[in-house]
């Protein structure tokens, strides 16, 4: 079975757990997923908490993705106005068979036009802001994550791990999902509609 290339989009002000929660799950199946960190250039990218992360690929030379993961974080607030970034994201992500986001990463997908005609969710504390992005998105306030065809979007931060476990279950079966969550000693939420934070 060929590995799936996962292109994780890094930008200044991304949320660490939005990235490394899902990445820890995917990396527990190294024979199935090749995780790449895609940045503007070759320089390390500074997260919201201030920790810098090295990239593996520049945006202009990133390998063809099978899955794209867009995290949230404070950096999304300015990026929704960054047309060159949104144009690149739309082009890059459209080449993937699955487009995913965690938290306010869905605001970037929406601003890039990648959620038009899809159901999606996001972080509840930022939900009212996120839903101003995009023109034709069916936003779902109460959802741990939303799967609509090849678009998967999760609620805030830690919900990205639940979504990723569900994605692994969808792609590789329940045994693979059980293997990675047991390895991480992670008790995931398996009901995508259970969202106590929507209240």
- A 10 A CB-CB count for 87 gives 12
27 burial (CB, 10 Å; 0-12 / 13-18 / 19+) is middle
Q: At 80, list the tokens.
A: 């929704």
Active-site residue 103, yes or no?
A: yes
- How far apart are the C-alpha atoms of 37 and 129, rounded to whole Å? 27
- How far apart are the C-alpha atoms of 89 and 109, rounded to whole Å? 8
DSSP helix/strand/coil, 87: helix
Annotated active-site residue in 103, 107, 108, 146: 103
Residues forming beta bridges with residue 138, ordered by sequence position: 119
Backbone φ and ψ of 98, nearest 5°: -135, 130
- Residues with a catalytic annotation lie at 103
């Amino acid at each position: 079975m060929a590995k799936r290339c996962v292109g994780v989009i890094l930008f200044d002000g991304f949320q660490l757990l939005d990235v490394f929660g899902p990445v820890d799950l995917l990396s527990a199946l190294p024979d199935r997923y090749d995780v790449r960190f895609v940045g503007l250039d070759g320089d390390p990218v500074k997260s919201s908490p201030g920790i810098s992360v090295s990239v593996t690929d520049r945006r202009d030379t990133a390998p063809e993705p099978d899955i794209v993961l867009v995290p949230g974080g404070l950096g999304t607030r300015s990026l929704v106005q960054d047309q060159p970034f949104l144009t690149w994201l739309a082009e890059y992500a459209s080449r993937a068979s699955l487009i995913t986001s965690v938290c306010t990463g869905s605001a970037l997908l929406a601003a890039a036009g990648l959620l038009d005609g899809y159901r999606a969710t996001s972080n509840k504390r930022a939900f009212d802001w996120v839903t101003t992005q995009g023109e034709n998105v069916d936003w779902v306030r109460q959802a741990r994550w939303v799967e609509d065809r090849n678009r998967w979007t999760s609620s805030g931060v830690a919900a990205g791990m639940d979504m990723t476990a569900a994605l692994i279950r969808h792609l590789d079966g329940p045994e693979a999902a059980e293997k990675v969550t047991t390895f991480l000693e992670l008790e995931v939420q398996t009901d995508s509609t259970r969202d106590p934070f929507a209240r």
